[in-house]
Every structure is written in structure tokens, then in C-alpha cells.
Structure 1
Amino acid sequence: MPRLTADALRLAAGGGAAGPLRRFAYDRAAVTPGIVHLGIGAFHRAHMAVYVDAILARDPGWGIIGASLRRPDTRDALKPQDCLYTVVERDASGTACRVVGAILDVLDATTQRRQLLDVMAEPRIRIVSLTVTEKGYCHDPSTGELDAHHPDIVHDLAHPDAPVSAPGLIVAALARRRAAGIPPFTVMSCDNLPANGRTTARIVTRFAALRDPALGRYVAEAVAFPSTMVDRIVPATTEADRRLVAGLTGLDDAWPIVTEPFTQWVIEDRFPAGRPAFESVGAQLVEDVEPFELMKLRMLNGSHSTMAYLGYLGGCQYVAEAVADPRIRGLIYKLMTEEVMPTLPMPRADLEAYRDRLLARFANPALQHRTWQIAMDGSQKLPQRLLGTIRDRLAAGQGSERLALGVAAWMRYVTGIDEAGAPIEVKDPLAARLRDIADAAGRDAAALADGLLGVVEIFGTDLPADTAFRRAVVGQLDSLFRIGALATAARLA
């Protein structure tokens, strides 16, 4: 079977088992780069790159140069196929395939750092966007501030021309542009951070100021950091997905993406260096992203994390399997309705419609979204997904039993042993520290809760001191140890 390349695509038949194979409707030779994207993983390729792909036929100056910051896997998979890849949208109603051509090149920052900085310093690059996950910002999740003691930040301050972190790369490129008299690019975060534009601005500006106070002032005054809200469920690609795409298209794609039909992008319209016409392809350009972002972080992401920990502990490998269990589905419905929705500044009818749409999306039988994948990096995710909601409810004198169960389920998960006694591969920047706390506490719910609540980077100093919150978490954690995840969920469903 031929490998997906530009030549193979030209020779390919019109379609396959999924019907006509949609292809980009422009001459790629006429496309020039206008965007550098840091963190070119599956989510970006299923989301932002698809929007840009739809724009390039009428405005070819916005091609994407992608960069992987940690590993060369994406570059090594996509470069031999001319950076083309297949996006497959699946749900119960059917399957649709398209080949995306918006990515012009992929660089590996670990071996092509100088080339990446050269590209970022080019005048034609007007946007640098990011999907580097929460941990890629080298910040303290409990405060949203730069962690100046993070090993990558320490390295980048000592070696400003050889940065390894996303903040270091952005500031190094901005410093080059400033020295050359080139206007700065816009920095656009597409990660699940609260007020992600303002958070990124604080982190990048602080790093620049630590490197050079004058550079810090320049970044604060001259660089735009629009906030965004991104939404699409994108499971990790599997070998079964690769076989599926080969059967549907007749082409061998080393890194296709299987995702849902739903996609949403809300963008704060602050792009002094110019931008593509995102609104022409379905994105929403707004003055204030925060209400949308808060809704998504608390309802979708908060539910996802709660479902992932409870589902994994309860033996559910996939999200659709977890939400099909009436105990977990009932819990998530009430978590959103009774504890999350009252904290959101949007019309009740809109929130109810969003809740119902989320439950339908979670139940999509065509997506193999692993609970283990969502459970990764919980120390970085909990502050945004659950703890902010809990703080708002505590301030209002309201209970948070279901939210506390989500926190307790994370605590039970990071012990590293599941309910059947099998080891859990806990992927988290703080995994070793969390495991030491868990090992010392054993199955003593109060000791485990107190030990993990003492991790200030996650919980701050306020939540551990709140007796109502601590009591709720200890109670739910005790129940998880005694009767298990599904029975505990049933009590609150």
C-alpha cells in the first residue's frame, strides 16, 4: 500500500469505504508560513490546523510550521509524507475522512533548535501558537505564575540562546525580532489554562524580565496574548486507527487522527500583527473568552477528569464505557447540574444544552478515548478543572461532595495500585513525590488526604486549611478504599 504523500494523493482514487476522500482545496506550493505552532501533537492537528486548512484556499499566507519540543516522533512520522495527514471524524452516524495540508514543515526542537528560532524570528511569522499542555508552561498551577525554579527555566536563564522550554523559545525569538527591528508576533495559547492568554502573558513576561528587565518591559508593552477556548475530543492514535485509515483511504498514514465531528474555537480578537479570517471557517471571535473558557474547563474538563479517575479505578478502559455505566453517568450529570453550573455566569438554558451535548459526546461509541490518557498530569490539571469550582462554592457557603469525590479519586489513583491490586502507570511531573506520600500513608484515608493536600503547588494553602473541604475529601477517599469507585459514585448519582 502506498504511503500518504503529495504524489500518492494525486494518484489516489476518489474515495474509499468512507466515501469521497476530502482533500485540501489549494495549491500547497503557493502557501507560505505565517504561523509557528509549538507542541504539534494530535490535538493541534485535529483542531487549529483544520481551521487553517479551510482558510488557505483564499488566504495562502498562513501556513503552519510545527515544532515538537520534547521528541522527534511527529516530525519523523510526518516529514516522509510531505507533512500531510488524515483526519477521520466518527460517531454513531458514520465516518468521514479528509487530508489536511496546512502544516508545511515539522521541526524537532531538541535537534533543530537554531532552525526553529530562525523561523520564529522571520517577519512573515505573525502568530506563535501553543498546545504544550499545562505542564509545558513551567508554572505553578496553584498560582498561574512562572516557576523560576523549574529545571527548564533555570536552564534557559543560564543559556538564553539555547532554550528548551516554551517560554524560553518564545522570549528568545522575541529578543531576536526586537534587536532586528521586526515587530513582535502574537502569542496564542490553545491550552486548558484559566484565562490562558493572561496566564501566558504573565509567564512569558516574567521570564523575559528575569532574563533582562528591558526585555520584560518590551514584552509587556508590545506583545499581544489573546485568550482562546478550544474544544474537540481527540483520543491518542492507535495501531487500530492506522489500519482503519489505510482501509478507508487506500493510503498508509503514519500518524492519522480519529476524532469526533464536533469542534469549537472561541478567540479573543487581539492580533496587532494580523490574523487569518478564523471567523470565516466557524471560529467565534469575541471580546471576552472567559465565560466560554470557564464553562468548558469546569464542565467538560472537570467531568472528564472525574470520569477518568473513577472509570479507571472501576475497570473502564474508555470514556464511552465509563459514561455508559449509570452510576458514573448519574454522578457526572449531577456534578455538572448541581455543583458546576451554579458557578458559571451564563444563561441556565445554555448550560443545560451544553451539559446534554457533552454527555452525548462522551458516549460516542466510535471514539476509543482512554481514561488513562485523560488521567495523565493530574497535578497540573486539577487546579483548573476542579479546584477553582470548589473555591467558588466554598466562598458561597455551598457543598462540593461530587467535586470532592473527583479530587479523592485522583488521590486514590496516584497511589499507583488499582482496585484489583494491579500497578497503575501514573504519568505526572510529580509522580515520584506523590507516590512517596501515598506509600507513607498506606490505606489511611486521612493520612493520604493530608499528605497530598500538603502539596502546595496543587492545592495552595487555603484549601488544606478549609475543614469542610478536607472533611469531604477524606470521607470520599475512605469510601473509595472501602467500597470502590463505582459503588461510591452510585451514592452520589
Structure 2
Amino acid sequence: MDRNLNRSTAGGCNANRPVRVLQFGEGNFLRAFADWILQVANEKGVTDTSVAVVSPRFSENKSIKALSEQEGLFHVILEGVQNGVPVSTVKLVDVVAEAFSPATEIDRYKAIIESEDLRFVISNTTEAGIRYEPDNASVLTAVTFPGKVTAMLNHRFRHFGGDTSKGLVFLCCELIENNGSTLHDLVTRHANENNLGNEFIDWVDKSCVFADTLVDRIVPGFPADTACEVMNRIGYDDSLVVKAELYHLWVIGGKGWETVRAELPLDKAGLNVHFMPSLKDFRDKKVRILNGSHTAMVPVALQLGCETVKEAFDNMLVNRFVNSMVDCEVIPTIAGPVSELKEFASGILERFYNPYIKHYLKSISLNSLSKWEARNFPVVADYFKLKGELPRCEVFSFAALMALYGPESGFEPDDNAVHMAALGKAWNNADEYDIVSEILGSGIFMADIEALVPGFTNMAAEFLASIRHDGMENALQKYCL
């Protein structure tokens, strides 16, 4: 048997579906989440679509190259416990029709933008992707993601002569509050700054939908430790096979949510997809409890020698730290009955124990600076407004992150290069207060943290000093347990 994975060797793949989705992002999460969801919807007859994948930075990388070589095919393995019974499933995903780098194939990219079939844009550029930076949004090869979106829409607007039926629907998977509406605002800003004209801006407002979304599925990625076993199981040498948990959730709301529900009724395929006018209450629960716990736990657990989420939660210190933070600091900042919130939190945190998923802390640490601001700082700010004091565990997580990213930890962060340079410069100071103060004022964070929560610098500096001089275990026990 030919073990190479492609549409000839796999057989039974549908290569004739129209490309209705342009996807910015080729990583593990989108492939095991959005692409898997579309695969299920296609199989159930709810949708009939293919996906064109481009890397957010437009440059070719290993995943884009592998997707192209495998003709868009890959397997998703889901593992977990369902009704007390271990479950493991394998699905071949064939929705990706093409994957390429616009930097080297700009005409191919233009053809997608100009297509009559194109209707949806899905993205996951991490929390760092949807933010403002000056950009030349008049060219398709703009640097930033919002700049690229602005240029893409402007090209489509001009190609179709402003036809209002040719707008696009954006489904952003970035874990920031109001992700879609924020992208819309940035597109408008870039359009104004690049003098793209009021007619274009009006077309974007009236013809395009920027839905706010909430996504949830733990995706550890490629099962490197059991690769041979997995390849034998699926029968192919699949360099893009991705492992994920059974659970998935996609909540779609905000302006235009009814349009999305009508045109992309994923809930009718039996998927855990929900449509609603506002995501705020749902989002606060999910992001603050699940994602905020991940972001807070990572720098603490890594410096205690843990490698995976399960190892971290098996460590009694980390376990108590996260549960105390959620129970005493996070839940009080979320609207709703406390009993229901605690039940929700219990179910969320229980997923951390999944014995079938090796969720590596280092992979979660990607872009932790922007993640901490998006996921954890809102708790700090709301808790301060509510109680008139700072939440110690959340502030400790910030200090732990600064220590992890500092030169003494031996850790190599995967984060924004400009922000890492600013952080490294701040670490030239000997005094922890000066380090924290310079970091907060360096432009790494969009919020003026000290102004919004006075005393943050002092507390974070105290915690950072203890982590540096007493060690993580002693500092954790001293301030948070």
C-alpha cells in the first residue's frame, strides 16, 4: 500500500465542492476545529464547501507546504471520556482544496478574492493578530492581518464594482473580546488612513458581516510521542495528523448573527454550535475560566518543572493555585448565579485531567503577553472595581510570566519579537519595581495597567522579587496558598 497521503491514495475524497471559505491560518487549532466542523457539516449534507488556506503572514511554512503536498488532506484524532467510557475516533478531513503562500503566488490569491463562490473568511491569528499597527492597506501584501483584510476587501469591492451582494462574512477565532467587531473597526481605520474612499467603507458596513465568535477545543497537535503507532493506525504517513479532545464549542453572535445562522447552519449537523445576539456573558465564563486558567497556570507550572496540563494539575500546588484563583477571583467578576458558575467551572477544569490528551504547556505559552492582557487583565480590572483591591493570584500569574520570559529562567518564549526586545531591555534593571514599571510602560500592553489598577506595579514587583530569590514553590506558597 502507498502510505503517502493524497487524493489519489486516500480515495473517496470530494474535490468538486466550491471554495466558499478563505482561511487565514494553517495551524493545528483551525484544522482540528473549524476544518473538522466543516467536514462534519459536509458529511451531514448541511454544507457543501471547500476551503482555501493561506498563512496569516503570507510566507510559506512547514504546514502550508505539507498541506499542499498532501493535497489538503489530514486526519483528526479525537480522544477523551464520554459517559464514563474511553473514546477515540479518527476522521480524514478533505475540506481543504488548496493551501499556498500569497507572497509567492499572488495571482492565485487574487483569484480566490475575485471568486463568485467566496463567501466566508475564517481566521486564527492569535490574540496578537487583531490589533492596530500602521500599515499600507492599499496593497494585498500588507503586513498586518487587519491590513491584509482591508486590502483584500478593497480588491473585491473594486473587482465587483461595489456589488452589495459580493460582501464577505468573517468568523474570527481569535480569543479576544468582540473579535469580529474589533476587526471591522480596524478595517475602517485602515481604510480611512489609506484614503480608500467612503464608498468602500459604506460597502464594508452594508455588505460584510463581522461576527463575534467564541471557540473552544483543546488541541495538543501532532502526537509526536506516539507517531509510529498513529501512522499505523490511520494507514498513511500523515505529517499533519492532529490530536484533540472530544469536546468542541463554537458560539457565533454579534451584528449579523442571524445571517450567519441562515447561510451556515452548522448547528443542524448535530455540532455544538450556537447562535445568539450577544456573547458577553457566555464569553466571560469561558475565556476567564478556561483560557485565563491556562494562561495563568503556564508560567507557574513550567517553573515548577511540569510539561503538560495534566502534569500541572497533578501537582498539588498548581492545582490549588488555579482552583483558588477561579473560585475566589474569577467567578466574582462574572455575571450570573454563583452556583451555576461554580458548576460550569468544575466541568471546565475537569477537562484538564483528560488522560488521553498531552497538552504541552510550552505550546500554550505561544504569545502569552497578549493572551494575559486579553484573558487575565479583565479579571484584574473588574475585581479591583468590585472589591477595591487587587486579586493576588492573577497578579502573581503576571509576575510569573515576567519571570518565565526573563533571562534567568532558561525558557525560550515564542512571542512578538518587538515586545520581547522591549521586555529584554527592561530586564537590564536590577530592581524588580523598575523592571515591572518599564515593562508596563513599554507599549507591550495596550491598556495603561497601573492607571487602571493602582498598586499593580508594587504588588507584581514584590511577587517577582520573591520568585527570583525564593523560588517559584516558596513564592507561590507565601502569597497565593
CA shift, 1:170, in A, is 1.9
2: distance between equivalents of 1:41 and 1:392? Answer: 33
* Aligned residue runs from structure 1 range 83-122, under 5 A: 83-91=72-80, 93-122=86-115
Q: 1:331, 1:490 within 8 Å by CA — same for their partners in 2?
A: no
RMSD of aligned alpha carbons: 2.2
Partner AA of 2:345 in structure 1: R
1: distance between equivalents of 2:252 and 2:452? Answer: 37
Q: 1:229, 1:289 within 8 Å by CA — same for their partners in 2?
A: yes
Q: Decide which moves more: 217-226 or 39-48.
A: 217-226
CA shift, 1:490, in A, is 3.2
Secondary structure of 1:28's counterpart equals coil
Secondary structure of 1:188's counterpart equals strand
Q: 1:235, 1:259 within 8 Å by CA — same for their partners in 2?
A: yes
Paired position in structure 2 for 1:341: 331
Secondary structure of 1:187's counterpart equals strand
CA shift, 1:8, in A, is 2.7
The C-alpha deviation readout for 1:237-291, integer Å capped at 9, x for no partner, is 2533532320222211011101111111111124379632111133111111122
Q: 2:19, 2:52 within 8 Å by CA — same for their partners in 1?
A: yes
Paired position in structure 1 for 2:190: 207
- Residues 193 and 452 from structure 1, CA distance in 2 versus in 1: closer, same or farther, beyond 3 angstroms? same
2: distance between equivalents of 1:416 and 1:464? Answer: 27
Secondary structure of 1:229's counterpart equals strand
Q: 1:207, 1:216 within 8 Å by CA — same for their partners in 2?
A: no
1: distance between equivalents of 2:36 and 2:148? Answer: 25
* Matching of residue 169 in structure 1 with residue 148 in structure 2: yes
CA shift, 1:465, in A, is 6.7
Q: 2:33, 2:248 within 8 Å by CA — same for their partners in 1?
A: yes
CA shift, 1:460, in A, is 2.8
Paired position in structure 2 for 1:458: 445
Paired position in structure 2 for 1:257: 242
Q: Which runs of 5+ in 2 are unaligned?
A: none
Secondary structure of 2:259's counterpart equals coil
* Matching of residue 416 in structure 1 with residue 407 in structure 2: yes
Paired position in structure 1 for 2:276: 286
* Matching of residue 9 in structure 1 with residue 10 in structure 2: yes
Paired position in structure 2 for 1:160: 139
Paired position in structure 2 for 1:184: 167
1: distance between equivalents of 2:72 and 2:451? Answer: 48
* Aligned residue runs from structure 1 range 34-113, under 5 A: 34-57=20-43, 58-70=45-57, 71-91=60-80, 93-113=86-106
2: distance between equivalents of 1:135 and 1:467? Answer: 25
Q: TM-score, normalised by structure 2?
A: 0.89
Q: Please point out which of 460, 473, 476 is paired with 1:486.
A: 473
2: distance between equivalents of 1:452 and 1:131? Answer: 27
- Residues 244 and 293 from structure 1, CA distance in 2 versus in 1: closer, same or farther, beyond 3 angstroms? farther
1: distance between equivalents of 2:330 and 2:356? Answer: 28
2: distance between equivalents of 1:394 and 1:425? Answer: 32
CA shift, 1:162, in A, is 3.2
Q: 1:2, 1:251 within 8 Å by CA — same for their partners in 2?
A: yes
CA shift, 1:294, in A, is 2.0
The C-alpha deviation readout for 1:63-89, integer Å capped at 9, x for no partner, is 211111333322211222221111111
Q: Please point out which of 435, 446, 449 is paired with 1:448.
A: 435
Partner AA of 1:432 in structure 2: A
Partner AA of 1:344 in structure 2: I
2: distance between equivalents of 1:230 and 1:462? Answer: 27
Secondary structure of 2:125's counterpart equals coil
The C-alpha deviation readout for 1:276-328, integer Å capped at 9, x for no partner, is 21111331111111222222221111110111100111111112111110111
- Residues 353 and 102 from structure 1, CA distance in 2 versus in 1: closer, same or farther, beyond 3 angstroms? farther
Paired position in structure 2 for 1:317: 307
2: distance between equivalents of 1:95 and 1:330? Answer: 30
CA shift, 1:361, in A, is 1.5
Q: Please point out which of 392, 402, 419 is paired with 2:382.
A: 392
- Residues 463 and 220 from structure 1, CA distance in 2 versus in 1: closer, same or farther, beyond 3 angstroms? farther
- Residues 60 and 261 from structure 1, CA distance in 2 versus in 1: closer, same or farther, beyond 3 angstroms? closer
* Matching of residue 123 in structure 1 with residue 123 in structure 2: no
Paired position in structure 2 for 1:469: 456
Secondary structure of 2:153's counterpart equals helix
The C-alpha deviation readout for 1:435-472, integer Å capped at 9, x for no partner, is 1111x124x32222222222244163352574432232
2: distance between equivalents of 1:96 and 1:78? Answer: 21
Paired position in structure 2 for 1:232: 217
Q: 1:186, 1:273 within 8 Å by CA — same for their partners in 2?
A: no
Q: 1:241, 1:257 within 8 Å by CA — same for their partners in 2?
A: no
1: distance between equivalents of 2:453 and 2:90? Answer: 51
Q: 1:30, 1:60 within 8 Å by CA — same for their partners in 2?
A: no
Q: 1:86, 1:256 within 8 Å by CA — same for their partners in 2?
A: yes
Q: Decide which moves more: 326-335 or 353-362.
A: 353-362
Moved over 6 A (4+): none
2: distance between equivalents of 1:354 and 1:40? Answer: 31
2: distance between equivalents of 1:168 and 1:118? Answer: 19
- Residues 465 and 392 from structure 1, CA distance in 2 versus in 1: closer, same or farther, beyond 3 angstroms? closer
1: distance between equivalents of 2:317 and 2:361? Answer: 16
Aligned length: 458
2: distance between equivalents of 1:321 and 1:258? Answer: 18
Partner AA of 1:435 in structure 2: G
CA shift, 1:9, in A, is 2.7
- Residues 244 and 356 from structure 1, CA distance in 2 versus in 1: closer, same or farther, beyond 3 angstroms? farther
Q: TM-score, normalised by structure 1?
A: 0.87
- Identity across matched positions, percent: 21
1: distance between equivalents of 2:262 and 2:332? Answer: 38
2: distance between equivalents of 1:276 and 1:467? Answer: 46
